[in-house]
Copies of this chain bind each other. A is one copy, B any other.
Amino acid sequence: MNPEKPQGRGQQADPENRLERREQILNSAQACFDARGFHATSTLEISKAAGISSAGLYHYFSSKDELIGALIERELKRVLSKMDALKHADDFFAELEDFYYQISTEELKGFSLGLRIESFALATRSKPIAKIVDKVNTTFLHELVQVVENAQRLNQVDPTLDPKLTAAAIMNITWGFFTQMCRPENTRADYLFVTMNLLKAGLSTKQQKA
Q: Is A81 an interface residue (CB 8 A)?
A: no
Residues of A within 8 Å of B, CB-based: how many? 47
User: Closest residue of chain B to A204, judged by CB?
Assistant: B201
Q: Which residue of B lies closest to A39 (CB)?
A: B39
- A173-B172, A176-B174, A193-B165 given; A120·B198 CB < 8 A: no
Q: Which of A78-127 contact B (CB under 8 A)?
A: 114, 117-118, 120-121, 123-125
> In chain A between 176 and 198, which residues have their CB closer than 8 angstroms to a CB of chain B?
176-180, 182-183, 185-186, 190-191, 193-195, 197-198
A159 contacts the other chain (CB 8 A):
no
A87 CB to nearest chain B CB (Å) = 21
| A40 at interface, CB cutoff 8 A | yes
If the complex has contacts A173-B172, A176-B179, A182-B123, are A202 and B197 also in contact, measured as CB distance less than 8 A? yes
Residues from chain B with a CB closer than 8 A to the CB of A168 are 180, 186, 190-191, 194
Asked whether A169 is an interface residue with its Cβ less than 8 Å from the other chain, the reply is yes
The residue among A114, A138, A169, A178 with the most chain B CB atoms within 10 A of its own CB is A169
Q: A137-B183, A173-B173 are in contact. List 6 more A-B contacts (CB 8 A).
A: A114-B121, A117-B179, A168-B180, A168-B190, A172-B179, A178-B179
